Amino acid sequence: MIWQQLHSLIGSYPLALRGLGMTAVLSLISLALGTLIGFALGVLRAGDSRTLSGVIGAWVDLIRGTPFLVQIFLIFFILPELGVELDAFTAGIIGLTNLASCFICEIVVAGIRAVPTGQVEAALASGLSRWQRMRQVVLPQAMRVVLPPLVGQYVLLIKDSSVVSAIGLTDLTRVGWLVVQRVPNGLLVFALVGLAYFIVCYPLILLASRLEKRLGAAHAEVQL
Amino acid sequence: MLANFSFRTIVEYLPLFGQGLVATLWLSVLSFAGALAIGIIACGMNLQRSRLLRAPAKVYIDAVRATPLLAQLYFLYFGLPRLGFILPELVVGVLALSLNSGAYIAEIIRAGILSIPRGQVEAGVASGMTFVQRMRLVILPQAFRVTIPPLLGQAIVLVKDSALLSLISVAELTRAGQLLASDRFMPAEAFITVAACYLLLYYGLKGLARGSERWLGSRTVRSRT
Amino acid sequence: MIEFRGVNKWFGPLHVLKDITLSVEPREVVVVCGPSGSGKSTLIRCINGLETIKDGDLVVDGQHVSDRATNMTQLRTEIGFVFQQFNLYPHKTALENVTLAPIHVRKIPRAEAKSAGRELLAKVGLADKFDAYPAELSGGQQQRVAIARSLCMRPKIMLFDEPTSALDPEMISEVLDVMVAVAEESMTMMVVTHEMGFARKVAKRVVFIDAGAIVETGTPEEFFSHPRTERSRAFLSKILRH
């Protein structure tokens, strides 16, 4: 019986690859876009304009306060009604990128606020403009605080990508769901699905904690 | 479509949403309680010196943290019947949430305990306390103060995660939205209402978190070491 | 060059600067001293806009600092500020610290900025530390880099906010020597400090400030030998004991 199932499983190999590919593509695109947008949002939010900071903050709160599943449903079912033609893949990208941007925005804000005010004052006193201050003095130092949670956030996003299976997107989790209909061994099928995610995520988790240890300890805030 | 956003339908379905909200609250509370129990045990095992006790805890925590909740949910939903456990979806859902959050709570507790400066332990040892006494009188009370905020954060995550249970047909808030969306072809009304309800829960929990930080801050004196 | 006219400042209910009227002429070196909490740091930080003033007028290099039309970013390029905590950029070498603003703000070509930077670092006695990071330098060395950093912008005014207060005693003189050299090159300077030896050597005037108000001004000899008010006397007796 089990050999029959294993045989079926191996037959599902192409489907599994498709699912893996979909998860990979979803994750990579939304991570890349989300990082860019998240950094931009974070810099803006940590800036001087209170209205801008407030608006961004409100949006981020909205995204952090609702389940990703509900967000995906909202995007997939409602945007078409507003005239935006949408397939599941695009909805998934939009949802994940939005999620990534909001969480990364908060990480960046925390990093920027962690830079000692003395540094900002020194840059200010030399006559550096706001943008120059950011680029030359604040952001390089903020990166030390930003990097570990950023990598951690990447792991969370790869895992969150599994939720897009709910709108029919054939990612790794949906492949498991499809396969288990034919090969009724839930333990085996989803153990394998889990293994696939594990292989990708675990090294990243280790990287995040190693980064945290190295960057946290060597916080070369110059000792007086 | 948004021009004829039907508030009337929302009001009509309000009892259903209300039930869903209550159901979500209930299963979140149950799952969190379960997660706390699992987390404390797993953390306790993880802090032991014996490899035999640490290994299963570490495997459990790592496996859960590196895989998606949805995959874990399906693993239990499709897998448990094979092992002979035919359980109602609600039970499977609560189990999945407990096991998932339990791993994160184990790490939160561990971080809290490790954040206590060595000097505290040494003071306890110097006064002649046993391991259990040190834990009970010195370490855990201080760790408690540190772990409450991240624990409340995990509670918020758990409430949001509970939405996934709708995918295995558990009667909760998101499922109420799905029902309205499919029955009346009104996804906008359905999911915006659902989102609003979750935001209510979110701000409620955040308020709780802030209140607890204030309460904890006033009761304990920060040591200056 | 710098002129305070009836300047007042509050931190909430706290009146930290009371009716300050003070002027600094070009090429003048003015030392500001006073007990801690007297407002002397706040005073000097108003000059380059690190603190804002709500009442009164402050004119720096012909521009009204509190006027919204004033381009503070531009004005700051003419004012050098040396902090008590040095505030060197930890992720940049000494030379990079010194040349950052000249390259990006004054748009001086990199090669030119670097040679000017090297020259200045050599002048402050750090010719062998061009590529050292702040973490590798002692406090005194870091402060000297900070001074070079400000000087590299060729400012019209140099401001020093307790430059030696965070230093171990044996490093104070190396920094003061650099400051004396700067003064001897006819730089307009305002220095908040307790270092009376320095004041005696190069200051044209000493301003004593207490509880937000200017209590007494005079030449160094007048102030140190014949303080006119009781508070000045009390202050001097406390710091001159060492």
Cβ <8 Å between A127 and C101: yes
Q: Which residues of C touch A221 (CB under 8 A)?
A: 90
> Which pLDDT band holds residue C227 (cuts at 50, 70, 90)?
confident
CA–CA separation, A9 vs A5, rounded Å? 6
CA distances B121 to A218, B112, B221, C40, C50, Å, are 26, 14, 18, 45, 45
- To 10 degrees, what angle do helices C139-151 and C169-184 make? 20
- Burial of A41 per CB tally in 10 Å (0-12, 13-18, 19+): buried
Interface subset of B 39-68, CB within 8 angstroms of A: 62-63, 65-68
Cβ <8 Å between C149 and A126: yes
Domains and CATH numbers, chain B: 6-224 (1.10.3720.10)
Residue predicted with more confidence, A47 or C115: C115
- Burial of A174 per CB tally in 10 Å (0-12, 13-18, 19+): buried
The amino acid occupying position B169 is S
> For chain A, what is the domain count?
1
Whether the pLDDT of residue B200 is over 90: the answer is: yes
Sign of CA dihedral A82, A169, B176, B102: negative
| B195: nearest CA partner in chain A | A66
Interface subset of C 124-163, CB within 8 angstroms of A: 133-135, 139, 142, 146, 149-150, 153
Residue C154 backbone class (left: φ over 0; alpha: ψ -120 to 50; beta: rest): left
The domain in which residue A138 lies consists of 2-223
- How high does pLDDT run on average in chain A? 89
CA distances A74 to A175, A191, C103, C162, Å, are 23, 31, 50, 59
| Average pLDDT estimate for B157-175 | 94
Strand C55-60 and strand C2-11: pairing?
antiparallel
Cβ <8 Å between C142 and A137: no
What SS3 state is found at B66? coil
Whether A78 and chain B come into contact, CB under 8 Å, resolves to yes
pLDDT of residue C124: 93
Cβ <8 Å between C88 and A121: no
Q: What is the pTM of this model?
A: 0.81
Torsions phi, psi of A209, nearest 5? -75, -30
Nearest Cβ partner for B2 among A82, A194, A197: A82
pLDDT of residue A1: 67
Interface test mutation site (partner A, options C50, C73, C75, C77, max chain A beta carbons within 10 A):
C73
Angle value at C-alpha B157, between B156 and B160, nearest 5 degrees: 90
pLDDT of residue A37: 97
CA–CA separation, B116 vs B143, rounded Å? 7
- Burial of A118 per CB tally in 10 Å (0-12, 13-18, 19+): middle
Distance from CA of A165 to the nearest CA of B (A): 9
Cβ <8 Å between A65 and B161: no
Torsions phi, psi of C130, nearest 5? -55, -45
The amino acid occupying position C229 is T
Nearest Cβ partner for A66 among B69, B81, B198: B198
Tell me the pLDDT tens digit for each residue of B54-96: 999 999 999 999 999 999 999 999 999 888 888 999 999 999 9
Cβ <8 Å between A141 and C90: yes
* CATH number for position A156: 1.10.3720.10
- Burial of A86 per CB tally in 10 Å (0-12, 13-18, 19+): middle
Among A20, A68, A90, A91, smallest CA distance to B70 is for A68
Q: Which residues of A touch C166 (CB under 8 A)?
A: 224
Q: Which residues of C touch A121 (CB under 8 A)?
A: 50, 83, 87
The amino acid occupying position C1 is M
CA–CA separation, C138 vs C168, rounded Å? 10
Q: Which residue has the tokens 């905020």?
A: B149
Residue predicted with more confidence, B186 or C132: C132
> Which pLDDT band holds residue A85 (cuts at 50, 70, 90)?
confident
Sign of CA dihedral A17, A19, A25, A28: negative
